[in-house]
Structure 1
C-alpha cells in the first residue's frame, strides 16, 4: 500500500452518517457494493448502499464520494433516489462476504472472515478491497479460540472468481480494462443473448459510455431489453446529444415514456436537442460545455477543465457567458482556449483573454459547413449560439466525424498495427 493511503475496515462503516457538501445528513451506510474479479485480484468497490430518511435504500456510486473519514461519508451532493437493486455481478460486502468460510493458501487452513478493509488507489478515484481479517478454524467453539490475523486478499481463496467461472462475471472481469469503444466492439460480436446479459450487468455509467460507441441497431436492441427505469438511468448517464440520437430512433410512445422517467433536467436537454435536424450544428452539439462567467479567473476555469469526466475535446476550451451559466446561457462573449489558460497567471480574469474573433455556429448550420469550419480553423470544438446571442451548446470534432463516416464504420475492424491492406 502506498504511504499515506488510508485503510478502512468496512465494519466501521456500518450505520455511518452520509452528508452532502453543505453538512446536511442525507442517510446512513447500510452496506458496500463490490465486484469480484478473476483469480486473486482485489475486488473493486462500486459504491455504498445508503438508507435515506424515507427508509428507502439507494445506491451511491463510489465516484460520488469525496471523503470517508472521522466516522462520516461526504458526497458530491448528487443522489439518485431510485431503490437499490443488486445486479448479478455485484456482492454486498457486509451481507455476503463477512462470516464466510475461506481457506488460507499458505497453510491450507480454513478460516472465517471477520472483516475486510478497503483503500483508495493512489492518484485515482477507485477503491478496492485489499485485506481480509480472519479467524482460523471452522467457527463454533473454535471460532473464539482460533488465532486472528490480517492477510492480503490474494492470500485466501473461497470467494474470488475462478478463471473457469461461468456467467457475466468472468466475462466482465476480463473486459474491465477495455476502453468503451473496444468493449463496444466485443459486445457487437456477441450473440444477442450474451450481449443482453453483459449489458444488464454493467454499471450505468459504463453501459452509457459503451452504448455511445455501438451501432444504432445494437443500441436499440440493448435499450429495449433493459427495464424501463434502468433504461432511463442509462440515458441520463449518456451525453445529451447521444441520448437524443438514440431516442429519436424509438417509436414515439416508447420515447415519451423513457423521457418521462428521466430526471426533468436531463429530459429537458434531450428534448431541446431533438428539436433540431440531426445533421446540423444544433443536432450535433452537446448542451454541457464548460461555461464560466466573465469575472471568473484562470484558476476557476482550470478547475473546471480538470473534471475527469470531460472528453478531451470538451476540455479544450471554456465558453465565457453572462448569467445564467446553464445552456441556453446569457449573452455569449467568447471562447478561451486551454493553451491560453496555461500561459497566464491564475488570478487573471478570463474576460481579458477572450478569442472573440471566431464567429460561433448557428444551430441551423448544416453538417458539411460545420466540418469545413473545423478544418479551416484547426479547432476541436465550436460554440453554437442562437439569434439572441445565447450559448446553446458546443459541437466537438468527435461528433462531426461520427456523422461524416459511413453508417457502418463502427462495425469495421481497423488495422492499428501499421500494416496496410493491399486490396
Structure 2
C-alpha cells in the first residue's frame, strides 16, 4: 500500500453525489462493483454503480474517477450511459457482501463465524488500482441481542473466508443502515436491482410501514414476488399499511383464492375498502381513487383542517385539500358539500368554519369516469387531487395526480427512466468511450501485471472515510 493512502469505508460512499469536472451533478453512488480473486487475495474494486437523475444505473469505471473527497466523487466527465448489467464474475458490495456470515481464520485462533458490517477500500501504489483491504465484522450469533452485543473488530481481507459461497438467509441490517435515509421510491429502485434472493431478504427485514411505502413504488412483478414470500399474516399487515388504492391494485393481480385468504386476515374495515375498490374497473376514477382523503364536517374550523393537513403520513397531494361532507365522515360519506384548498386555509382565521369557505363550483368525478376524462379534469383545472362522488352525492374517495400518472405512463416506465431514450443517449456524451462497451472489456484484456484481474477501476480518497480508524476495534 502507498504510505498514507486514504482508507475509505464503503458505507461512507452510499448516496454520495457524483460530479463532472465543471461541478454539475451527474448522479449518486448506489453500489460498488468488485471481482473476487483466488488464494485470499483482496478483491479489485472495478468501479461504481451510479444512478443518474433519470434513475438509470450506469457503470463508472474507477479509471474515470479523478477524486473522492469531502463527500463527493469527481469524474473525468466522460461517461458511458449504457445501463449497468452485472457480469457473472462480479459482486455488488452493498447488495451481496454486507451482512454476510463469513469465517474468521486469524492465525492462532479457532475458526469463528462473524457478520460483515462494513468493508474498506484502499488505493494501490501501482497505477490507480483500488482493492478491498479490510473487513469490519461482528462476532457472535446470528440475529438477536447476542449479535448486537458481539465484539466488533477490523481485520485484513485474508483473515476471513466465505465470501465466494452462496448464502441462504443472509441478513440485511447493515445494508438497510446504509440506505436508511433513502426515500421510498429510491429504496424501491435499490431493491429492484438486487438479486431475487437478496431482494426478498431485505424486504423481510423492513418494518411493515416502510415495506408498504416501498412496495407502492415497485414494479408489479416485484410486488407480487415479495408479497408471495411473506407469511400470510404479515402480508395482510403490509397490505393494510399501504394506500388502499395501491393495495387493491396489488390484490387484484393475485389469484382469487389468495385474495380471499389475505382479505380474511385483514381488519374488516380495511378489507371492505379493498373489496369496494376492486369492484371498479382499474382505469376509472373509482379504480384510481384512495378511500382515505381528509374529510371534515361542516362545523369543523380552519384550525381543525390545518391539524389534519399536518399529518406526516399524508402524501402532499392528499394534504393539498380537504373535503367537506355531512356525517358520516368516513367514505362513503354523507352528502358531499365541496372542497377547501390548502392555500385558502392559510388565508382565513383559525376559527373560520370550513363550510363558509368551500369551493363548490367544480363538478366532482363520477366513479366510472374513464382515465382520459380524469386526466383531462386534472389538466384543465390544475388539480393535484379530485373528489369522486356517487349518484347519491356521497364522497367515495379522491384521485391524486400521482395515481393518474402511474396509469398513463408505459408499464415499464420504471425501467426506461421516464422519457429517456436509450438510442438518444447511447453514444452521446460518451466522448472517448468505445461505443459498444463500458470500459470493462479493455480492462479485462490487461493481463500483463499481477494487479489487473479483468477489472474496471481507479479512485482517490473520501473526506468522510479518511479516518481509517472509524471502524477499528
Query: What TM-score do you get using the length of structure 1 for normalisation?
Result: 0.60
Which residue does 1:201 correspond to in 2? 205
Alpha-carbon distance in 2 for matches of 1:293, 1:421: 53
**1:405 is aligned to 2:409:** yes
Match of 1:366 in 2: 370
How many corresponding residue pairs?
268
SS at match of 1:318: strand
Residue 413 of structure 1 and its aligned partner are, at CA, apart by 3.6
1:412 Cα deviation from its structure 2 partner: 2.8
- Structure 1 residue 169 displacement after superposition: 1.1
1:283-322 alignment, distance < 5 Å: 283-322=287-326
SS at match of 2:300: coil
Superposed, 1:212-227 pairs within 5 Å as 212-227=216-231
What residue in structure 2 maps to residue 341 of structure 1? 345
* Aligned mates of 1:161, 1:299 — CA distance in 2: 54
2:395 counterpart (391, 395, 408): 391
- Taking the aligned partners of 1:355 and 1:244, their CA distance within structure 2 comes to 30
Deviation track 1:333-362 (CA, whole Å, cap 9, x = no partner) reads: 000000000000000000010100000000
> Within 2, Cα distance between the matches of 1:180 and 1:162?
32
Matches of 2:377 and 2:412, distance apart in 1: 25
Deviation string 1:109-166 (CA, Å, 9 cap, x unpaired) is: xxxxxxxxxxxxxxxxxxxxxxxxxxxxxxxxxxxxxxxxxxxxxxx99567989997
Q: Give distance in 2, aligned partners of 1:160 and 1:302.
A: 48
Whole-Å separation in 2 of the counterparts to 1:218 and 1:352: 47
Deviation at residue 215 of structure 1 after TM alignment: 0.4
1:158/1:402 CA distance change after superposition, 3 Å: same
Partner of 2:57: none
| Pairing 1:34-45 to 2, within 5 Å after superposition | none
1:179 equivalent in structure 2? 183
Alignment match, 1:51: none
Q: Tell me the C-alpha RMSD between the 2 structures.
A: 2.4
State the alpha-carbon separation in 2 of the partners of residues 383 and 354 from structure 1. 13
SS in 1 for 2:274: helix
Deviations 1:217-276 (A, max 9, x none): 000000000000010000000000000000000000001000000111111111100000
The C-alpha deviation readout for 1:15-48, integer Å capped at 9, x for no partner, is xxxxxxxxxxxxxxxxxxxxxxx79xxxxxxxxx
CA deviation vs aligned residue, 1:275-316 (integer Å, no higher than 9, x gap): 000000000000000000000000000000000000000000
Task: State the partner residue of 1:139.
Answer: none
Three-state SS of the structure 2 residue aligned to 1:250 is coil
Cα-to-partner distance string for 1:387-414 (whole Å, 9 max, x where unaligned): 0000000000000000000000122346
Structure 2 residues without counterparts, runs of 5 or longer: 1-10, 13-98, 100-147, 158-162, 164-169, 429-473
Select the residue among 270, 275, 284 that pairs with 1:266. 270
Specify whether residues 330 and 174 from structure 1 end up closer, same or farther in structure 2 by C-alpha distance, changes over 3 A only. same
1:241 aligns with 2:245: yes
Gaps in structure 1 of 5+ consecutive residues: 1-37, 40-88, 90-155
Q: 1:343 to 1:235 in 2, by over 3 A?
A: same
Secondary structure at 2:387's aligned position in 1? strand
1:211 — aligned with what?
Answer: 215
Report the 3-state secondary structure (helix = DSSP H, G, I; strand = E; otherwise coil) of the residue aligned with 1:272.
Answer: helix
Q: CA deviation at 1:421?
A: 3.6
Gap change, CA 1:197 and 1:366, over 3 Å in 2: same
SS in 2 for 1:224: helix
Structure 1 235/160 Cα, relative in aligned 2: closer, same or farther at 3 Å?
Answer: farther
- Say whether 1:325 aligns with 2:332: no
Task: Check 1:161–1:287 CA distance in 2 against 1; reply closer, same or farther (3 A cut).
Answer: farther
Whole-Å separation in 2 of the counterparts to 1:170 and 1:223:
23
Contact 1:204 1:233 in 2 (8 A): yes
Matched, 1:231 2:267: no
Shift of residue 202, structure 1, vs aligned partner: 0.5
Q: Is the 8 A contact 1:161 1:170 kept in 2?
A: no
The 3 A distance-change label for structure 1 pair 301 and 203 is same
The equivalent residue for 2:122 is none
Q: Is the 8 A contact 1:185 1:411 kept in 2?
A: no
Assess if the C-alpha contact under 8 Å between 1:244 and 1:274 holds in 2: yes
**CA separation of 1:386/1:170 partners in 2, compared to 1, >3 Å: closer, same or farther?**
same
Structure-1 separation of matches of 2:365 and 2:152? 53
Distance 2:324 2:153 in 1: 50
